[in-house]
Amino acid sequence: MTVHLVGAGPGDPGLMTVRAAELVARADVILYDRLIPDRALDGARPDAELVYVGKQGGGPQMPQAEINRLIVAHGRAGKEVVRLKGGDPFVFGRGGEEALVCAEAGIPFAVVPGITAGVAAPAYAGVPVTHRELASGVAFVTGHEHPDKPETALDWPALAAFPGTLVFYMGVRALPRIAGQLIAGGREAAEPVAVV
């Protein structure tokens, strides 16, 4: 195996998995995101190459195409590559795209799931996302829509009708619009909300 797409969890160092810690300790190259836990790289080898590829709204950032290029280049070189991502690689993490890039380049890869913030952040705030008799399901939705998509890209009435808890990622800036669209779509205005 050369490339591991690894979820580092929601930010608490204790919520990294045992496997993530093992892979960090073994890697030749670690391509890491902004939202990994503090000290997540402390266990890396002294001679490992650590490359920051994080994205932050508004600032300079490495384009996804360049991240993909680095994954492929190091993978082709036979290096043990860890692509360390906040949360889970496949939940709003663009891990699917990075997996495709590896598959297309013929580079062996594996995905190591991580705890996603949509489960952990409510839990730390005391909110179970499912609960018998109250919420028989939970949906994770991105509150940050693609800038070139029209505002109506999400089916708000369908989301409003979802029979359970709704968790929006990256939704703080869009909060008034999300709440307005859900209520317009039929969601009970009195339903409790937590912003974590």
Q: Which of 11, 5, 41 is nearest to 25 (CA)?
A: 41
Q: Decide: is 129 part of the binding site for its own copies (CB under 8 A).
A: yes
Q: Is 42 a catalytic residue?
A: no
Q: Is 170 a catalytic residue?
A: yes
- Closer residue to its own copies (CB): 105 or 141: 141
Q: What is the CA radius of gyration of the chain?
A: 19
Query: C-beta of 186: minimal distance to its own copies in Å?
Result: 10
Q: Decide: is 3 part of the binding site for its own copies (CB under 8 A).
A: no
Task: Evaluate the CA torsion angle 94, 33, 130, 184 in order and state its sign.
Answer: negative
Q: Is 33 a catalytic residue?
A: yes
Distance CA 178, CA 172 (A): 9
- Closer residue to its own copies (CB): 18 or 190: 18
168 class by beta-carbon count within 10 Å (0-12 exposed, 13-18 middle, 19+ buried)? buried
Q: Which of 28, 62, 79, 170 is catalytic?
A: 170
Give contact residues for its own copies (rule: CB under 8 A): 9-10, 12-19, 21-22, 88-97, 99, 111-116, 119-120, 122-124, 126-132, 136-142, 145-146, 153-155, 157-159, 161-164
